[in-house]
Structure 1
Amino acid sequence: MKRHFILITILASSFALHSQNKIITITNTLSVDREFETVELTQKILGLPSSAKLEELAVKEANSDLYLESQAVDNDGDGIMDVLLFQPKIAASASKDFEIVPSSNTPGTKNINCYSRFVPERTDDYAWENNKVAFRTYGPVAQKMVEDNIPGGTLTSGIDAWLKRVEYPIINKWYEKMTSGAGTYHKDTGEGLDNFAVGNSRGIGGIAVKADGKYYFSKNFISWKTITTGSIRTSFILTYADWDANGKKITESKFISLDYGSYLSRFEINIKGAKTIAAGITLHEKKGTTGNNIKEGWLSYWEPIEDSEIGMGLVAPKNTMSSFDNYVTDEKELSNLYGNIAVKKNKAVYYAGFGWKKGSPFKTKEEWETYLSSFATKINNPLVVKLKK
């Protein structure tokens, strides 16, 4: 009797697991091939009960043994995975079916392609990267060092760029090289370098609030929280001390993410005290060329950088960037190209990033702006996910 009970339990468990297998159809509504775009699956989209664990699921092509990289993410920190991420490749104006299966069947190990962390050994940076680009920004210790006239500090809420030209992660390697005295990330030995000056500018994607013709912005972040790192996405939250914009108290935090294959980080700004934010790109020595298409929702700046060139860009979802300001001043590091982005329900969303001529396929301003235009079209026309009945 006991053997029969065990057998029935095994069969029942097998049936329950098999019954969770779902088929989804991904449709590309654009007349261009799509890849390196992240699809987010939830329990609701998959028609699964709240007890289902997304981390126990994997994605494969229907009628095929080809498994796709996937990553489960707990966005709100409650211990329950909220989304299952994957990046399908879909031909122009086409649809493709994928099967959601138990992850125990998935072959191989997952790579950490998208990575971020707090860096206390280099004062208190927060750095992030994927296989294309890398960024960092600065914390309270670096700020206090400047305020106390201690060498080595940094006072800015601007976003710094690390110009990598390899697909593999470099953050830990470069910091180790610097802190151990074995070398410097300010010199290119084949992987890229940090020669991007952020200073008090907005760097690539820092924000400001304009009041009475002047731009105001926060100091360094005061706290951080890593949400996820993995094969598809890294994401984290930075919180800032309340700051003043000409008498208005501004409360700000940033939810930043970077997906595999993208040259642009996604910024979700949670802000109180402003109806519009100005997301900025530094103009450095004002030797570059700006570009814009407000209808499509992007701004660009292409400039020389030492013996190469770099394209910087901002992209906002449709109808959220109302205008731009090519703000040029003689004040040091304060010339920025600003995109004015609407705040709705205390939130504003945009994407910001760069393409370095030595580390990307973008060799001209026109090629860079073609990428920004394509990126804008794709975020406004996301891949369509439908559960197959």
Structure 2
Amino acid sequence: MKKSIFLILVVFCFSCAEKSSEVLSVTVKNNLDIDRAFETVEVDITDIDLNRKSLEVVNSETKKVLISQIVDKVILFQPEVSPNSEVTFKINLVEKKDIDSNLIRCYSRFVPERTDDYAWENNRVAFRTFGPVAQKMIEDGVKGGTLTSGMDAWLKRVEYPIINKWYARGVIEKGAYHKDIGEGLDNFHVGVSRGVGGIAVKTDSTYSVSKNFTAWKTITTGPIRTSFILDYEDWDAGGKVIKERKYISLDYGQNLTRFIVELSGTDNISVGLTSHKKDGEVTTNKAEGWMSYWEPFDDSELGQGVVITNPKRIIAFDNYLTDRKDESNLYVQSNVSGAFEYYAGFGWKKSGQFATKSEWNNYLSRFSKCLQNPLEVNVITPSK
């Protein structure tokens, strides 16, 4: 009898402690008839006094602790929600723990050892773009420079981070990351093209573009998201002075990078995908707000894609082909007023993620559908 009373008291005390650590209750609802995963939920924690502690997200039913990330005054996590259902999570105050470096799966950094790249990746894809030193080298006739504001794709086929490994190999052996030793490689040519999701401004039939970024700022890296800011020197588009800043982020489990572009001096923006050898297949869907370019690529195939967050802004698509080197791009032109948001990325057949054009296009269509029907998040503060 005494043992039973002791057990009851222990359970009661544990429940009280668990309840007292809960600072928020979050219900996430999925209104679509598809499973939802790898979509990041953001919960405002401005009013929570952490007092040198941290937070954890727990599934209220299964008691499973989800991987989460705190960025400024927001906590990020990625729930799994079945079709037409909802799941409730508790956000608990917990003791701080050392960050497990193995969980830093969304990563970005400035790369001074390779001129001045900025590179970013998650578990599925990797990208880079180029800074002012690389631009000046071209302008001064120095070998090894790069002059472009296009977005380069690094075709990885492993889930673990490769940015630091590949650059380290490149220091030892020039161009080492152009060879695939089992992790993938950089065989994606950008040149002055838009690469995967670079922007342009169209005036009449001419596309104008910026040069390399001039400044950068890393905001966060972690298990759920990496994000950063790129600034550009003012540039000319048919006599108009364009001011440009990009907020770029990449979340775990996604093939598409999110771009929020602050642009002034124009009322239209064109987002491009390079056409490389001009032998790819074009698919566009104005209603859903996406375009796709699926092409033969060395000994494999590659899909590139852009998804516009607000399809109603789309003006037209333009499969712009020219004999001028690297200037052929598939464009989507949209209205812009202040900030403009879109997603751009790729799927490499050799990575095992997408085997066909149809699979890649279905991914873009589904991604768009989820953007237009975001998970409903309801936050409740428990009564004390």
Q: TM-score, normalising length from structure 2?
A: 0.91
Matched, 1:312 2:304: yes
1:1-12 superposed matches below 5 A: none
Task: Please state how far the C-alpha of 1:365 moved relative to its aligned partner.
Answer: 0.7
Tell me the number of residue pairs that the alignment of Structure 1 and Structure 2 aligns: 365
Distance 2:52 2:258 in 1: 23
Distance 1:205 1:103 in 2: 40
Determine the structure 1 residue equivalent to 2:47. 49
Determine the structure 2 residue equivalent to 1:331. 324
1:15-34 superposed matches below 5 A: 18=20, 20-34=22-36
Q: Percent identity?
A: 54
Indicate the larger mover: 62-71 or 118-127.
62-71
- Consecutive unaligned residues of structure 2, counting only runs of 5 or more, are 1-15
Task: Please state how far the C-alpha of 1:285 moved relative to its aligned partner.
Answer: 1.1
Determine the structure 2 residue equivalent to 1:340. 333
| Alignment partner of 1:143 out of 135, 138, 142 | 135
Task: Please state how far the C-alpha of 1:55 moved relative to its aligned partner.
Answer: 7.2
Determine the structure 2 residue equivalent to 1:83. 74
| Alignment partner of 1:223 out of 211, 215, 220 | 215
Q: What is the root-mean-square deviation in Å for CA atoms of aligned residues?
A: 2.1
Distance 1:20 1:361 in 2: 38
SS of the aligned residue for 1:141 comes to: helix
Matched, 1:96 2:87: yes
| Alignment partner of 1:37 out of 36, 39, 48 | 39
| Alignment partner of 1:127 out of 119, 124, 147 | 119
Determine the structure 2 residue equivalent to 1:3. none
Paired residues of 2:137 and 2:143 also in contact (CA < 8 A): yes
Map Cα deviations across residues 184-237 of structure 1 (whole Å, 9 max, x no partner).
110111000000000000000000001121000100000000000000000000
Indicate the larger mover: 335-344 or 149-158.
335-344
Distance 1:238 1:107, change over 3 A: closer
Distance 2:53 2:198 in 1: 33
Determine the structure 1 residue equivalent to 2:7. none
Determine the structure 2 residue equivalent to 1:67. 65
SS of the aligned residue for 1:126 comes to: strand
Distance 2:149 2:52 in 1: 35
User: Which residue identity is paired with 1:327?
Assistant: Y
Distance 1:105 1:17, change over 3 A: farther
Paired residues of 1:29 and 1:383 also in contact (CA < 8 A): yes
User: Which residue identity is paired with 2:258?
Assistant: R
Q: TM-score, normalising length from structure 1?
A: 0.90
Paired residues of 1:112 and 1:229 also in contact (CA < 8 A): yes
User: Which residue identity is paired with 2:74?
Assistant: V
Paired residues of 1:206 and 1:280 also in contact (CA < 8 A): yes
Distance 1:51 1:340 in 2: 45
User: Which residue identity is paired with 1:89?
Assistant: E
Distance 1:299 1:49, change over 3 A: same
Determine the structure 2 residue equivalent to 1:76. none
Determine the structure 2 residue equivalent to 1:6. none
SS of the aligned residue for 1:185 comes to: helix
Distance 1:54 1:297 in 2: 44
Determine the structure 1 residue equivalent to 2:4. none
Map Cα deviations across residues 269-313 of structure 1 (whole Å, 9 max, x no partner).
011101110000001110111001010000000001100000000
User: Which residue identity is paired with 1:65?
Assistant: K
Distance 2:369 2:279 in 1: 29
Paired residues of 1:233 and 1:260 also in contact (CA < 8 A): yes
Distance 1:54 1:126 in 2: 32
Task: Please state how far the C-alpha of 1:65 moved relative to its aligned partner.
Answer: 3.0
Paired residues of 1:54 and 1:83 also in contact (CA < 8 A): no
Paired residues of 2:157 and 2:184 also in contact (CA < 8 A): yes
Distance 2:260 2:290 in 1: 16
Map Cα deviations across residues 89-114 of structure 1 (whole Å, 9 max, x no partner).
00011101100101328798461000
